[in-house]
Amino acid sequence: MLVDSHCHLNFEQLSSQLDNVVARAGDAGVGHMLTIGTKLREFDHVLGIAEAYDNIHCSVGVHPHEAETEGDEVTTEKLIQLSQNQNVVAIGETGLDYFYEHAPRELQKKSFRIHIDAARETGLPLIVHTRNADNDTIDILREEYEKGPFTGVIHCFSSGWEVAEKSMEIGFYVSISGIVTFKTATELQDHVRKLPLEKLLVETDAPYLAPVPKRGKSNEPSFVAHTAAKVAVLKEITFEELSSVTTDNFFKLFNKIERTAK
């Protein structure tokens, strides 16, 4: 079994054909999906999807792009309250994005720390988005970890090696998206070769970042098989072994989910 550890099933490209998307995922061997919250004002839709399918769970959080537009709504107490639903298994995605800078950096940092506080209080894993913000991401994770432990994952990893190294030092996992299949992603491919198997996850980030050979199409959970195949080649193991290890890792991290299938 494979798991898509990060997708956005509430986005129009996928939600408009959700039954078919879920069926195709099953046909591709994808047994579980985690659909991710990015806006509190859309959380009910995200949660509704998780409640409608036995093999889908969700997270609650505010993407760094939304740190200004939703900043007043993001509190530790609010995130903790929304996470009490049995289908909510993670906090985020949150983090820092200095590539687009859709929100001021200081507001992104504030939101990031609030999410970390909620993850620490609930014991749920934190889903971290980081782009062009390596140093600040590392600094905040380190500073907050010193206040009390928490766990999580660097999603859609494409940063410098130090982000992976420092996050794994505090127990984080690292999730690989379809970017790893791109011809230009030679640095990321080198990083994947170094990543320990016991810290690896795979994801789509659907509907974005469709892997080779699906470039140009809307991404969906079934396509995680192509990413897994590429990672298996880079790690010099079989596809079956990669699938087994990353699925085990997923259920270890997101341990609020009752695993019913191997």
Query: How far apart are the C-alpha atoms of 11 and 169, rounded to whole Å?
Result: 34
Residue in 208, 229, 184 with CA at minimum distance from that of residue 93: 208
User: Residue 96: what pLDDT?
Assistant: 98
pLDDT tens digits, 123-153 = 999 999 999 999 999 999 999 999 999 999 9
User: Residue 126: what pLDDT?
Assistant: 99
Query: How far apart are the C-alpha atoms of 19 and 4, rounded to whole Å?
Result: 16
Question: pTM of this prediction?
Answer: 0.97
User: Residue 261: what pLDDT?
Assistant: 53
- Listed as ranges, residues in the chain with pLDDT below 70 are 261-262
The residue extents of the domains of the chain are 2-253
User: Residue 145: what pLDDT?
Assistant: 98
What Å distances lie between residue 81 and 76, 121, 185, 229, CA to CA?
9, 11, 40, 38
- CATH 3.20.20.140, applies to 2-253: yes
Residue where the block lists tokens 């098989």: 225
User: Residue 260: what pLDDT?
Assistant: 72
